[in-house]
Amino acid sequence: MKIGRMLLLMQRESSRRGAPVLSVESAIGRGPFAILVFTVLSARTRDETTIKAGRRLLSRAPTPQKLARLPLPQIQKLIYPVGFYKTKARHLHSLSLALLRDFGGKVPSAFESLIPLPGVGMKTANIVLASAFGKDTIGVDTHVHRISNRLGWVKAKSPEKTSAILNKTIPDKFRRRLNMSMVAFGQTVCTPLRPFCTECPLTKVCPKIGVTSRR
């Protein structure tokens, strides 16, 4: 089965099952700053929690200028209970200051400029580039890493290695939507524990590598 078809089947099935990540765009919009804030908040946190926290924060501070003016305890309060909320509050505050100081208050659209920003790693940079700037790049998080290994697209131990392989092997035209399709699919069908293989639209073509218990 071709990759475009596989991504389409993932999208359809996860949309039918109401994957939380699919409501992110309607909740926070597509502005680069909102996407950056949301992606920083989302690490190790459920999307439902991240969406609520992101909305609270962005309604109070929709720009780097406003966020940089908020006291740290207030940022912490607004984003609680996302995981590591104290660290993330500090990163978001420093991040806003760095955007004001180095980029005129705008989110940069180059990987090399995003990576040094506080709280921004390779995953966040690639998600921002794909989602906010429409660049053909793949943000690899835990869902993309896990599913790519199960499907046999990669044989990699870390998301970084998976990212390096996918960014070489996946054709440009599929890269932008790959993260969203796989995250949604990972939330609803190819779940970390006991994936729903018997209900999965890819079950006939998937080698299920590393899956020891399934539904």
Interface residue list for ligand SF4 (CB under 6 A): 150-151, 189-190, 195-197, 200, 202-203, 206, 208, 211
Residue with tokens 């596989």: 6
Min CB(185)–ligand SF4 separation in Å = 7
| Nearer of residues 38 and 153 to ligand SF4, judged by Cβ | 153
Residue identified by tokens 């078809």 is 5
Six token digits for residue 157: 């131990």
- Nearest approach in angstroms of CB 87 to ligand SF4 is 32
Question: CA 175, 198, 196 angle in degrees (round to 5)?
Answer: 60
Structure-block tokens of residue 164: 């390096």
Nearer to ligand SF4, 63 or 191 (CB): 191
Which residue, 183 or 200, is less far from ligand SF4 as judged by CB? 200
Q: Which long-range contacts (CB under 8 A, 24 or more apart) does 66-75 make?
A: 67/37, 67/92, 67/93, 67/96, 68/93, 68/96, 68/97, 68/100
Kindly state the smallest distance separating residue 10's Cβ from ligand SF4, in Å.
8
Please state the closest distance from residue 200 (CB atom) to ligand SF4, in A: 3
Of residues 59 and 212, the one with the C-beta less far from ligand SF4:
212
